[in-house]
Amino acid sequence: MKQLQERGTLGLAFIAGLAINGTFAALFSSVVPFSIFPIITLVLTVYCLHHRYQNRTMPVGLPSIAAACFVLGVLLYSAVVRAEYPSMGSNFLPAVLSVALLFWIGFKVRALRTQVTE
């Protein structure tokens, strides 16, 4: 059950990264059309993360992985939007950084999982 809670926290951090970049793009970018859904997603995700933070303890090492998942969400949204709207610029750097960050997250999760089993 504890692993499922950890995955939920990491998933919420990832969604928060997507939502914050989506909200920023919807509000301040003239290329991306406005939508209310990233704002709603951001509010609900932050509420759920705050609720988890108040009611559950995080294992050692999980906050850094959650922060990396947040940054991964920001980078992936940027890469996808730049692929959809080429006038915003190249998506090479966000794509490469997100792949490197994904491997780092996988390495850290595997190390955390072996540390917990010992």
CA 51 to CA 49: how far, in whole Å? 5
| Residue 117 to residue 19: CA distance in whole angstroms | 34
Q: What is the pLDDT along the chain (118 residues), one digit of tens a residue?
A: 466 568 899 999 999 999 999 999 999 988 888 999 999 999 999 999 999 989 888 888 889 999 999 999 999 999 999 999 888 889 999 999 999 999 999 999 888 888 767 6
Residues 59, 64, 67, 72, Cα dihedral to 10°: -110
Write out the H or E segment, with its range, that includes residue 45. helix 37-55
Residue 47 near residue 104, CB atoms below 8 Å:
no
pLDDT at 5 (0 to 100): 67
Q: What is the pLDDT of residue 1?
A: 45
Specify the pLDDT at position 97: 96
pTM, two decimal places: 0.90
For residues 56 and 42, what is the distance between their CA atoms, to the nearest angstrom? 21
- Using CA atoms, how far apart are residues 97 and 91, in angstroms rounded to an integer? 10
Cα–Cα distance, 74 to 33 (Å, whole number):
18
